[in-house]
Chains A and B, each alone.
Chain A
Amino acid sequence: MQPKPHSRPRTDSLADAWLARWPERQILVWSALTVGLGFLMVIGSGYADGRPTDPRALLPLGLYALSLAIMHLILVSARFQGDQILVGTLAFLAGFGLLAQYRMGGIRLEDLSTPDLYLLPGGVLTMLAVGLALMRGRFERLADWTWAWAGISLVLVALLLVFGHRYRGAVYGAGLVTPTELLKVTVVLFLAGFIDRHGRRLGNWGKAAVPIPPLRALLPLALFWILLAGLLLLQRDLGLFVVLSVTLLLMLFVGTGRRGYLILGALLASAAGYLILEIFAHGQRRIAAWLSPFEDPTGNSWQILQGLSGMYSGGLWGEGFGEGHPEYTPIAQSDFIYAVIGEELGFVGCTLLLIFFLILFGRMLEIADRTRSNFGRLLCVGLTSVLVIQTFLNLGGVTKFIPLTGITLPFISHGGSSLVTGFVSLGLILAISERSPARRQGAQSPRTPTGRLRAARETRPDQAKRARKR
Chain B
Amino acid sequence: MSPPLDPAIWPSLRLALHIAFFMAIFFLLKQILELREMAQLRHLARPKGAFRIPLVMIAIAFGALLIYQASWQLTGMLRPQFIAFMQLHDRREFNPAHWIRRGRILDRNGEVLAYSEEIQGKVYRLYPDGPVFSPVVGYSQPRFGSTGMEAVANVHLNGGAPADLSGWGELGRQIVGGGQGPRGQDLRLTLDADLQRMAVARIGERRGAILLMDPNDGDILVLASVPSYDPNRISSDLFMSQDPSAPLLNRVTQGLYPPGSTFKIAVAAMALERGFDERIDCPADGYTTSSRYPKIRDHEYYSALEHGSRWKGHGRIDMRRALSRSSNVFFAKLGVIEGHDAFRALGERMLMNRQITLHRTPYGTYAMRTGRMPRLSDRDLYGLAQLAIGQGKLLVTPAYMGLLTAAVARQGIAVRPRLLDRDPPQGVARFMSADTANRLADMMRTVVAEGTARGIDTPDLSIAGKTGTAQNPQGASHSWFVGFAPTQRPTLAIAVLVEEGGYGSAVAAPIARDLLLAAHAKGD
Q: Which residues of A contact B (CB under 8 A)?
A: 5, 22-24, 26-27, 30-31, 33-34, 37-38, 40-41, 43-45, 47-48, 50, 53, 55, 81, 83-85, 88-89, 92, 294, 297-298, 302, 305-306, 308-321, 323-325, 328, 342, 345-352, 354-359, 361-362, 365-372, 388, 392, 395-396, 399-401, 433-436, 463, 466-467, 470
Contacts known (A34-B24, A323-B14); A399 close to B69, Cβ less than 8 A: yes
Contact B69 A369 (CB under 8 A): no
Contacts known (A5-B38, A30-B28, A367-B41); A401 close to B89, Cβ less than 8 A: no
B163: Cβ under 8 A from any A Cβ: no
Contact A315 B178 (CB under 8 A): yes
Contact A27 B31 (CB under 8 A): yes
Bound state CA distance, A13 and B9, in angstroms? 52
Interface size on B, residues (CB 8 A): 69
Contact A55 B1 (CB under 8 A): yes
- Residues of chain A contacted by B119 (CB below 8 angstroms): none
Q: How far is the CB of B160 from chain A (nearest CB, A)?
A: 15
Contacts known (A44-B5, A372-B44); A324 close to B69, Cβ less than 8 A: no
Contact B28 A27 (CB under 8 A): yes
> Nearest CB to that of B67 among chain A residues?
A401
28 A/B residue pairs, CB under 8 Å, sorted by A: A26-B35, A30-B27, A31-B28, A34-B21, A34-B24, A34-B28, A37-B17, A41-B17, A41-B18, A47-B5, A48-B10, A55-B1, A294-B82, A308-B73, A308-B76, A309-B90, A312-B73, A312-B76, A312-B96, A312-B97, A313-B96, A320-B18, A328-B90, A347-B74, A349-B22, A352-B22, A366-B41, A395-B62
Contacts known (A298-B89, A347-B70, A392-B61); A24 close to B28, Cβ less than 8 A: no
B66: Cβ under 8 A from any A Cβ: yes
Q: How far is the CB of A31 from chain B (nearest CB, A)?
A: 6
Contacts known (A37-B24, A45-B14); A305 close to B89, Cβ less than 8 A: yes
Contact B24 A316 (CB under 8 A): no
B25: Cβ under 8 A from any A Cβ: yes
Contact A362 B42 (CB under 8 A): no
Q: How far is the CB of A403 from chain B (nearest CB, A)?
A: 13
> Nearest CB to that of A20 among chain B residues?
B39
> Nearest CB to that of A396 among chain B residues?
B65
- Residues of chain A contacted by B47 (CB below 8 angstroms): 366, 369-370
- Residues of chain B contacted by A369 (CB below 8 angstroms): 47-51
Majority SS at the chain A contact face: helix
Bound state CA distance, A320 and B12, in angstroms? 12
Bound state CA distance, A152 and B54, in angstroms? 30
- Residues of chain A contacted by B42 (CB below 8 angstroms): 467, 470
> Nearest CB to that of B176 among chain A residues?
A316
B362: Cβ under 8 A from any A Cβ: yes
Contact A370 B5 (CB under 8 A): no
Bound state CA distance, A73 and B441, in angstroms? 98
Contact A308 B17 (CB under 8 A): no
Listed from nearest, the 9 A-B pairs whose CB atoms lie closest are: A23-B35, A365-B51, A48-B10, A34-B24, A369-B51, A370-B44, A84-B39, A313-B95, A309-B90
Q: How far is the CB of B254 from chain A (nearest CB, A)?
A: 21
Give B435-477 as 1s and 0s: 1 = Cβ < 8 Å from A's Cβ atoms: 0000000000000000000000000000000000000000000
Bound state CA distance, A306 and B90, in angstroms? 7
Which residue of the partner chain, among B1, B45, B66, B91, contacts A351 with CB atoms under 8 Å? B66
Contact B94 A313 (CB under 8 A): yes
> Nearest CB to that of A463 among chain B residues?
B43
Contact A352 B29 (CB under 8 A): yes
Contact B35 A85 (CB under 8 A): yes
Give B94-131 as 1s and 0s: 1 = Cβ < 8 Å from A's Cβ atoms: 11110000000000000000000000000000000000
B68: Cβ under 8 A from any A Cβ: yes
Bound state CA distance, A305 and B66, in angstroms? 17
Q: How far is the CB of A375 from chain B (nearest CB, A)?
A: 15
Further pairs besides A83-B39, A312-B97, A369-B50: 13, Cβ < 8 Å? A81-B43, A312-B73, A312-B95, A312-B96, A328-B90, A328-B92, A346-B73, A347-B66, A347-B74, A365-B54, A371-B45, A401-B69, A433-B44
Contact A319 B94 (CB under 8 A): yes
B32: Cβ under 8 A from any A Cβ: yes
B165: Cβ under 8 A from any A Cβ: no
- Residues of chain B contacted by A22 (CB below 8 angstroms): 38
Contact A350 B69 (CB under 8 A): yes
Majority SS at the chain B contact face: helix
Contact A467 B43 (CB under 8 A): yes
Which residue of the partner chain, among B1, B35, B51, B76, contacts A366 with CB atoms under 8 Å? B51
Bound state CA distance, A158 and B20, in angstroms? 49
Contact A48 B45 (CB under 8 A): no
B7: Cβ under 8 A from any A Cβ: yes
- Residues of chain A contacted by B76 (CB below 8 angstroms): 308, 312
Which residue of the partner chain, among A53, A294, A367, contacts B2 with CB atoms under 8 Å? A53
Contact B82 A312 (CB under 8 A): yes
Q: How far is the CB of B86 from chain A (nearest CB, A)?
A: 5
B58: Cβ under 8 A from any A Cβ: yes
Contact A297 B21 (CB under 8 A): no
- Residues of chain A contacted by B20 (CB below 8 angstroms): 37
Bound state CA distance, A357 and B15, in angstroms? 26
B46: Cβ under 8 A from any A Cβ: yes
Bound state CA distance, A5 and B36, in angstroms? 12
Which residue of the partner chain, among B38, B59, B97, contacts A358 with CB atoms under 8 Å? B59
Contact A399 B2 (CB under 8 A): no
- Residues of chain B contacted by A317 (CB below 8 angstroms): 18, 22
Q: How far is the CB of B123 from chain A (nearest CB, A)?
A: 15
> Nearest CB to that of A8 among chain B residues?
B42
B239: Cβ under 8 A from any A Cβ: no
- Residues of chain B contacted by A85 (CB below 8 angstroms): 32, 35-36, 39
Q: How far is the CB of A96 from chain B (nearest CB, A)?
A: 9
Bound state CA distance, A55 and B68, in angstroms? 41
B72: Cβ under 8 A from any A Cβ: yes
B232: Cβ under 8 A from any A Cβ: no
Bound state CA distance, A30 and B23, in angstroms? 11
B185: Cβ under 8 A from any A Cβ: no
Bound state CA distance, A470 and B43, in angstroms? 10
- Residues of chain A contacted by B240 (CB below 8 angstroms): none
> Nearest CB to that of A355 among chain B residues?
B29
B55: Cβ under 8 A from any A Cβ: yes
Name the residue in B20, B42, B362 with the highest tally of chain A Cβ atoms < 10 Å from its Cβ: B42
> Nearest CB to that of B93 among chain A residues?
A325
> Nearest CB to that of A85 among chain B residues?
B39
Contact A88 B32 (CB under 8 A): yes
- Residues of chain A contacted by B38 (CB below 8 angstroms): 5, 22-23
Contacts known (A41-B14, A317-B18, A348-B22); A308 close to B51, Cβ less than 8 A: no
Name the residue in A40, A297, A298, A346 with the highest tally of chain B Cβ atoms < 10 Å from its Cβ: A297
- Residues of chain A contacted by B161 (CB below 8 angstroms): none
Which residue of the partner chain, among A5, A313, A370, contacts B41 with CB atoms under 8 Å? A370
Q: How far is the CB of A387 from chain B (nearest CB, A)?
A: 10
Contact A41 B44 (CB under 8 A): no
B13: Cβ under 8 A from any A Cβ: yes
Contacts known (A361-B58, A371-B45); A392 close to B65, Cβ less than 8 A: yes
> Nearest CB to that of A364 among chain B residues?
B51
Contact B55 A361 (CB under 8 A): yes
> Nearest CB to that of A434 among chain B residues?
B43
Contact A309 B85 (CB under 8 A): yes
Q: How far is the CB of B433 from chain A (nearest CB, A)?
A: 41
Name the residue in B36, B48, B62, B86 with the highest tally of chain A Cβ atoms < 10 Å from its Cβ: B62
Contact B28 A92 (CB under 8 A): yes
Contact B51 A368 (CB under 8 A): yes
Bound state CA distance, A343 and B206, in angstroms? 49
> Nearest CB to that of A317 among chain B residues?
B18
Bound state CA distance, A365 and B48, in angstroms? 11
Contacts known (A34-B24, A84-B39, A311-B73); A350 close to B44, Cβ less than 8 A: no
Bound state CA distance, A179 and B94, in angstroms? 40
Contact A342 B89 (CB under 8 A): no
Q: How far is the CB of B114 from chain A (nearest CB, A)?
A: 24
